[in-house]
Structure 1
């Protein structure tokens, strides 16, 4: 997003945070409602064009959203959508992207409130690794000819009772309504959103052998110092990794020799 859309999304994030800070608002239920509105506006192209039409006043668009949704979703969800359509958007699709992000953020906020956000982050990462290691599973989940209900049933078999409810909802929405994204990029976006809940970055650490708790602490501290933000480590083991360790933060890859220096820095920090 750029320009007006970026500003509108920033304002919407602030409103969502204010809403979910209230103990009277169920963030998980709000997430499901926002996801339903996302699906509606993704499907109804003409409606989203009306709701983002710069020739119409923001108040008129908000009133239309309230009439359409007032009996379908809760008051907090209606208020969020009304605030969104009052804003200006660079293009209609940006409104739908913003709604989807708010729905995902609400689910992550619910997990954070219950103290389960770390578990959700780890489960998203593990699911991505499972998919990347199974061509059959990836093909089943990304098959455009397969109905969403079939994919949802497959995911319930894989995740139901074995993962956090927020994880299951996030992955199910991504798989059944990808909206043009690849499964991998969608999972990466969810991981970034989860990290943003604590204003921290994500490092994917692949090592030849499992790291000890002390090594993880030192590496996390050194990476945090290097990037200037707290770091969440997603850990994977691959005996063939070159140099014994590989660290990826966003698009940047740190090889084993540099990782050794980071660990040395971590030891100095701990001493």
Structure 2
């Protein structure tokens, strides 16, 4: 988001931070409830228009939000939604997108409070790869015409026993594909998780599974290069004949044997 919407989003995220206060349980519940609010607003164009109407007083919009949500969600969820209603947004959809981002932030804060944030980042990456590698599964999860409940049941069946609750909740929301493809939405959620600790995300392709010592050396080397902590998403790719391929923020550092052989072949071919 940019401009006036970005400023309003900042206030909404500040309300989330104030609400979670290091309590993992309340943060997880807040995230789930904000996603529910997003679902309601997505289906209520008239309500979105009122809540983002610049000619309507902020107090009136906050009062409307509170009355609509009363007895349906917890007080801290209403507080966050009221923060959104108080803000100014370039478009009605920006308010709803902002609340989705707030829900992600709350779930990320929950994992951080538990000390499982890095595990959640890894689970999001691995679940995303599993879905993307199965054309039929990807088609179902990415199809906006497929009803929500069958999608969630499918994701639960595949991942509920394998990932943390925060990861599953984020997968559920990504399957709504509100702002783009499933992969794009999930990547955005992963970036929010990494930003919680001001970490970079590095995609690393290797020919074989790296040991703990190798992972630590690689993590330290990338962190030293970019001056920030880094989270590694590892892909074992047999086509990598030696070395590694590292991608960070669009920059690719290719140290593979195959790339060096190809470069030599081009030189020999003139």
TM-score by length of 2: 0.89
**1:212 paired to 2:211:** yes
Find the counterpart in structure 1 of residue 13 from structure 2: 13
- Separation in 2, partners of 1:151, 1:74: 26
- Contact 1:242–1:256 at 8 Å: present in 2 too? no
Distance between the aligned counterparts of 1:24 and 1:134, measured in 2?
33
Mapping 1:162-173, distance limit 5 Å: 162-173=162-173
Runs of 5+ unmatched residues, structure 1: 258-271
Q: How does 1:166-205 map to 2 (within 5 A)?
A: 166-175=166-175, 177-205=176-204
* Separation of aligned partners in 2, 1:25 and 1:113: 9
By how many angstroms is 1:62 displaced?
0.8
Is the Cα contact below 8 Å between 1:243 and 1:255 reproduced in 2? no
Deviation at 1:213, TM superposition (A): 2.0
Q: Distance in 1 between matches of 2:248 and 2:167?
A: 22
After TM superposition, the structure 1 = structure 2 runs for residues 243-258 of structure 1, keeping only pairs within 5 Å, are: 244-256=243-255
Contact 2:24–2:110 under 8 Å retained in 1: no
User: Does the residue aligned with 1:26 lie in a helix, a strand or coil?
Assistant: helix
Separation (CA, whole Å) in 2 of partners of 1:103 and 1:247? 30
Question: How far did residue 134 of structure 1 move?
Answer: 1.5
CA 49–181 in structure 1, closer or farther in 2 if over 3 Å, else same: same
The residue that corresponds to 1:262 in the other structure is none
Say whether 1:116 aligns with 2:116. yes
1:38-85 Cα distance to aligned partner (Å, 9 max, x none): 111111111111101111111111111111112211111111111111
The match for 1:65 is 65
How far 1:232 moved relative to its partner? Answer: 0.6
Q: Distance in 1 between matches of 2:24 and 2:128?
A: 34
Structure 2: state its 5+ residue gaps: 257-270
Alignment of 1:122-161 (within 5 A): 122-161=122-161
Moved more, 143-152 or 158-167: 143-152
2:100 maps to 1:100:
yes
Deviates more, 1:108-117 or 1:163-172: 108-117
Whole-angstrom CA distance in 1 between matches of 2:224 and 2:54: 44
Give the structure 1 partner of residue 260 of structure 2. Answer: none
> Could you tell me how far apart the structure 2 residues matched to 1:131 and 1:36 are?
24
Q: Answer yes or no: is the 8 Å Cα contact 2:159–2:168 preserved in 1.
A: yes
Structure 1 residue 133: deviation in Å? 1.8
| Shift, 1:144, TM fit | 3.7
